Structure 1
């Protein structure tokens, strides 16, 4: 009798934990309709420019010197020139690289195509019963054969004589 009640109690606990919703770590679907907290950027502090001629012409919807520029700020922090971001076209130094990468043409809908293929693959290789019960994601298993072992890759490059950064 005691053994039966213990088994029944464990089964009830497992049923309750299965209803908990599980981890959303690898769930890439948007599940909330609220604002994106990472999409909110603070404005730069107000300051008087050294020359009022550098201020942009006031236009509705136009740029302001206090508008956030995260890409430009990142380029400046990394030692680059943020003004180069406004340049149109490809730099002369990168022309050969672009020509080689696009030698067989480009697909403007590549992102949508890959997203559809990925969804079809994950449907065919869906979660197993135990993965459904514990609420785990199929993502890691789905891409296990094409994932990169960073430590093994670093050792491979070091043995080949390449200079690599140190890693813990």
Structure 2
């Protein structure tokens, strides 16, 4: 009996430890002690410009001609323009109809703050008992599983209604 009480006391103290606002559900740390291969982004290939006088002045901490831009490259690969990612460009004229349609019922001015507060509250509720774990795990997918779209179910629903749908990845469950 005393061992059981000791175990309960140790678990209770362990549950109370740590940061009080630790509501993170992601735990992407590597516990192997080796290098994190995803944190290294190789630079683009060096090239000699046609005119060396056109090179931009070096800016400490700034961007470099050989720096990778994975998000910009993804935008271009999907048919967009890399310049759309640069701050200060605003909304392109080609997207004005999309923006008007999305905001046709009105858009709250504090939508970002409101969603951030709601998500923080959701994560706080979902992370209540996450500290009582023997092994650290990534609980993000588990917490948001009800918010996730089931692609196969949705595809079946729309196909049953006769809507032309694109193909979807196979169900791997």
Task: Output the TM-score relative to the length of structure 2.
Answer: 0.56
* 1:38 to partner: Cα distance: 2.7
Unaligned runs of 5+ in 1: 1-26
Partner of 1:159: 160
CA contact (8 A) 1:55 1:65 kept: no
Higher relative contact order (CA 8 A, sep 6+): 2
Partner of 1:28: 26
- Closer, same or farther: CA 97–36 of 1 in aligned 2, 3 Å: farther
- Closer, same or farther: CA 106–64 of 1 in aligned 2, 3 Å: same
Unaligned runs of 5+ in 2: 1-24
Aligned-residue CA RMSD in angstroms? 3.9
Partner of 1:59: 59
Distance in 2 between residues matched to 1:135 and 1:43, nearest whole Å: 34
1:93 partnered with 2:94: yes
Which one has a larger percent helix, Structure 1 or Structure 2? Answer: 1
Task: Output the TM-score relative to the length of structure 1.
Answer: 0.58
Partner of 1:7: none
- Aligned residue for 1:109, secondary structure, equals helix
CA contact (8 A) 2:30 2:36 kept: no
Distance in 1 between residues matched to 2:133 and 2:55, nearest whole Å: 58
Specify the structure having the higher radius of gyration (Cα): 1
Distance in 2 between residues matched to 1:64 and 1:137, nearest whole Å: 35
